[in-house]
């Protein structure tokens, strides 16, 4: 009896050979000192001065700084207190996340004119695959210069562009294209740096290992013990030694990068998988009611982003970190999904109410994950809070079937969705401070905090999935 023949063997033709990765033309566009540049754009008197954008509180962190501040050794992710010591005469501003997001959308729109294959990594960084655009739009290097001048002319902002056959090389190239700041002052950058096929290793091998994605201080220390200092040294290490040193998967990945190999595609419209908001407080907090207010504010911010992604979330997670850095997370899953601030807040508050905060809360956060397309069931779930706020009239029909001959009365779910949509569109036009939950209304108006008001702490924004080293934004 003949052996069973598998489908592929029977059908025969092999899939076409994988296209030569060296033919890919990837661009990495990175705005120069983005948040600081936006502040200067909106207030030209700041131009040429050391400027630091970030948290101004006790535990604040630098989010971005002008090159004039970098001359003094200030860099992003540094505690603001340290930046003040290094550069006491700098201008410190808290940052305006909405404004940066608005300009980020404009930048994205410019990039989309060159190719639909745009993968946004953060507010100020994107990868583009222009391999297929070259015939219509021109060589990749020309596209890079055109993007740079379009953004400069239309938005009056500077960016640096790297061009290479792979994503991580394009990112390293954009880094090499940037202005530099040192004791001698600010030096303009090259603007565009191109790594041509065949030039990858010449560019890569002299760099220190820390410039590679995935090489943090611990990995770097282990590699240095092997005598590995440059990417060229790394490429010379046999695979089995590398895997034994840093772990199998990591070792294999680093070995490939050191040889210039990175087949990861540019993935347009990266799908939002989770949305969260968290805040670190300058002093540990024990005020239960105040923290419950904070949960509503965060839930509201998270809900806006969930809706902007056109999704509902099935899992709501509460995160509490105490003064001694112990961290608790508590989750609840709502199969129907939630997308409005009140519903997310009521789940987060129920989780919070079961937690003892007498130790003092250092960090509080609300997240929504398992995002999915809204279905009919999720609309039903969203009625919960609205029903509480506005119970159906006696005899009223639940659901969206209007009584015959009478005025159509939308279902609670529809009204709630419409209300959330209206909130979003007002915020789009007038900024986050224009609308907020009534519970946050104080004597001075609505107390809406934005990322920029807070100490810029870890997790303020979801990290870019490509996991590159955070250069100054």
Residues labelled catalytic: 125
Give 63 or 215: the residue with its C-beta nearer to Mg ion.
63
Q: Which of 262, 259, 261, 254 lies closest to 205, judged by CA?
A: 259
Contact 194, 173 (CB under 8 A): yes
Do strands 361-372 and 327-338 pair parallel, antiparallel, or not at all (unpaired)?
A: unpaired
Residues in binding contact with Mg ion, number by CB under 5 A? 4
| Site track 102-131 with Mg ion (rule: CB under 5 A), x = hit | ----------------------x-------
Give 124 or 200: the residue with its C-beta nearer to Mg ion.
124
Give 28 or 297: the residue with its C-beta nearer to Mg ion.
28
Among the listed ranges 25-33, 172-180, 391-399, 454-462, the one in contact with Mg ion (CB under 5 A) is: 25-33
Helix (H, G, I), strand (E, B), or coil: what is residue 58?
coil
Cβ-in-10-Å burial (0-12, 13-18, 19+) of 269 comes to exposed
Among the listed ranges 176-184, 258-266, 335-343, 465-473, the one in contact with Mg ion (CB under 5 A) is: 465-473
Report the distance separating Cα 266 and Cα 129, nearest Å.
6
Residue 281 beta carbon to Mg ion: minimum distance, rounded to whole angstroms: 28
Give 434 or 471: the residue with its C-beta nearer to Mg ion.
471
DSSP state of 230: B
Q: What are phi and psi of 313, to 5 degrees?
A: -110, 140
Residue 303 beta carbon to Mg ion: minimum distance, rounded to whole angstroms: 28
Residue 457: CB atoms within 10 A of its CB come to: 18
Of the candidates 31, 83, 223, 298, which one interacts with Mg ion according to CB under 5 A?
31
| Site track 69-108 with Mg ion (rule: CB under 5 A), x = hit | ----------------------------------------
Residue 188 beta carbon to Mg ion: minimum distance, rounded to whole angstroms: 16
Contact 338, 319 (CB under 8 A): no
Q: Is residue 158 part of the contact set for Mg ion (CB under 5 A)?
A: no
**427 Rama class: left (phi>0) / alpha (psi -120 to 50) / beta:** alpha
Q: Which position's Cβ is nearest Mg ion?
A: 473
Structure tokens at 338: 């939630």
Of the candidates 25, 27, 30, 168, which one interacts with Mg ion according to CB under 5 A?
30
Report the distance separating Cα 19 and Cα 269, nearest Å.
23
Residues near Mg ion (CB under 5 A): 30-31, 124, 473
């Amino acid at each position: 009896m003949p052996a069973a023949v598998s489908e592929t063997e029977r059908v025969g033709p092999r899939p076409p050979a994988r296209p030569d990765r060296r033919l890919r033309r990837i661009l990495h566009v990175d705005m120069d000192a983005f948040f600081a540049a936006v502040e200067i754009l909106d207030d030209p008197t700041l131009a040429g001065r050391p400027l630091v954008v970030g948290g101004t509180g006790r535990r604040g962190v630098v989010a971005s700084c002008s090159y004039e501040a970098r001359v003094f050794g200030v860099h992003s992710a540094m505690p603001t207190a340290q930046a003040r010591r290094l550069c006491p005469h700098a201008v410190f501003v808290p940052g305006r996340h909405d404004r940066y997001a608005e300009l980020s959308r404009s930048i994205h729109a410019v990039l989309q004119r060159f190719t639909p294959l745009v993968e946004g990594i953060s507010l100020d960084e994107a990868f583009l695959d222009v391999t297929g655009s070259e015939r219509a739009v021109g060589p990749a290097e020309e596209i890079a210069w055109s993007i740079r001048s379009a953004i400069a002319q239309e938005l009056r902002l500077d960016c640096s562009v790297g061009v290479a056959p792979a994503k991580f090389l394009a990112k390293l190239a954009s880094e090499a294209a940037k202005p530099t700041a040192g004791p001698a002052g600010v030096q303009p950058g090259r603007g565009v740096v191109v790594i041509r096929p065949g030039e990858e290793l010449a560019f890569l091998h002299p760099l220190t290992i820390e410039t590679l994605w995935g090489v943090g201080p611990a990995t770097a220390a282990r590699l240095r013990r092997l005598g590995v200092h440059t990417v060229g040294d790394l490429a010379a290490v046999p695979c089995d030694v590398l895997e034994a040193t840093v772990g199998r998967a990591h070792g294999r990945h680093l070995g490939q990068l050191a040889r210039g190999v990175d087949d990861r595609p540019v993935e347009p419209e990266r799908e939002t998988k989770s949305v969260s908001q968290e805040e670190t407080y300058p002093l540990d907090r024990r005020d239960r009611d105040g923290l419950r207010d904070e949960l509503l504010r965060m839930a509201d911010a998270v809900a806006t982003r969930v809706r902007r992604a056109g999704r509902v979330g099935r899992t709501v997670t509460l995160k509490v970190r105490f003064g001694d850095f112990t961290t608790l997370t508590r989750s609840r899953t709502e199969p129907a999904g939630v997308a409005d601030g009140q519903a997310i807040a009521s789940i987060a508050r129920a989780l919070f109410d079961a937690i003892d905060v007498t130790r003092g809360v250092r960090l509080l956060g609300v997240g929504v994950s398992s995002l999915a397309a809204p279905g009919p069931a999720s609309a039903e779930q969203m009625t919960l809070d609205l029903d509480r706020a506005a119970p159906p009239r006696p005899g009223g029909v639940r659901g969206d079937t209007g009584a015959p001959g009478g005025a159509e009365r939308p279902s609670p779910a529809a009204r709630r969705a419409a209300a959330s949509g209206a909130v979003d569109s007002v915020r789009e036009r007038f900024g986050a401070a224009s609308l907020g939950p009534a519970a946050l209304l104080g004597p001075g108006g609505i107390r809406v905090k934005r990322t920029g008001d807070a100490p810029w702490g870890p997790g303020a924004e979801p990290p870019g999935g490509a996991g590159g080293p955070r250069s100054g934004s």
